[in-house]
Amino acid sequence: GAGVSQSPRYKVAKRGQDVALRCDPISGHVSLFWYQQALGQGPEFLTYFQNEAQLDKSGLPSDRFFAERPEGSVSTLKIQRTQQEDSAVYLCASSLSGTGGHEQYFGPGTRLTVT
Amino acid sequence: GENVEQHPSTLSVQEGDSAVIKCTYSDSASNYFPWYKQELGKRPQLIIDIRSNVGEKKDQRIAVTLNKTAKHFSLHITETQPEDSAVYFCAAGYGNKLVFGAGTILRVKS
């Protein structure tokens, strides 16, 4: 079946622009996660949804970052007034379980470059 | 919060040798410990995971051990092959939040 998909795969934004990154999780997966992966580092947790509810947004680095999953499936990560330090790969993952401790399936990521 | 340290940062082995990657974690509440493999430009993929009620788990050439008292866990790959070359990440989590290590670049020389 189809895995997690993300679009766009690459995004170049001028500093100060707003961007929107999309994630299509595996159908039926309850949990959805966003991570930020800097070059040469492991994924860093940003936020987590269980269905449409955003249960944890403790990893969002500033109030310029906003995520939503209004119908409990597709999710969008929005970054307002992008800064150079926002340049990274943004990974989305989904999991069948809503209780944790189960495999997270990752998408291919969106590579954001802020110039 | 949770903090995960991973060592070594790079590891070169000869084809057929074993490779061991070690991780330590700080939060004793963590109860789920997955390992992910990420090839260059690709998505991370789960290769093995272990839960806190188990000390060891094996899947063909891959094994993971967990020492809850010492708060460390390790990945063991035996009979390494060139296709094992990738970046490996450990992670520790409680509930739905995973904290990842910084990664180990494994190079298998043929």
pLDDT for residue B94: 81
Q: Do A100 and B46 touch (CB under 8 A)?
A: no
User: A107 and chain B: CB distance < 8 Å anywhere?
Assistant: yes
Give the position of tokens 């090839």: B39
Give tens-digit pLDDT for A62-76: 999 999 999 999 999
The average confidence (pLDDT) of chain B is 95
Q: Do A44 and B91 touch (CB under 8 A)?
A: no
Segment A13-35 mean pLDDT = 97
User: B97 and chain A: CB distance < 8 Å anywhere?
Assistant: yes
The pLDDT-based confidence of A31 (bands split at 50, 70, 90) is: very high
Q: What does the angle CA B51 – CA B84 – CA B18 come to, to the nearest 5 degrees?
A: 75
Nearest CA-CA partner of A33 in A55, A11, A18: A55
Segment A53-68 mean pLDDT = 96
Give the position of tokens 């999780």: A25
Q: Is the pLDDT at A61 greater than 60, yes or no?
A: yes
CA distance B85 to chain A (A): 15
Q: What does the angle CA A17 – CA B40 – CA B106 come to, to the nearest 5 degrees?
A: 135
pLDDT for residue A72: 93
Q: Is the pLDDT at A1 greater than 60, yes or no?
A: no
Encoding tokens for residue A96? 């069948």
CA distance B10 to chain A (A): 11
**CA pair distance A5, A91, nearest whole angstrom:** 10
Segment B66-75 mean pLDDT = 96
**CA pair distance A39, A108, nearest whole angstrom:** 15
Q: Is the pLDDT at A100 greater than 90, yes or no?
A: no
pLDDT for residue B44: 95
Encoding tokens for residue A54? 């955003």
Largest separation between any pair of C-alpha atoms in chain B? 41
**CA pair distance A111, A5, nearest whole angstrom:** 13
More confidently predicted of A59 and A102? A59
**What is the Cα A8 distance to its own chain's centre?**
12
Segment A85-113 mean pLDDT = 92
Segment B47-55 mean pLDDT = 91
**CA pair distance B43, A105, nearest whole angstrom:** 9
Q: What percent of chain B has pLDDT over 70?
A: 100
> What is A65-105 written as a DSSP string?
EEEE-TTSS-EEEEESS--GGG-EEEEEEEES-SSSSSPPE
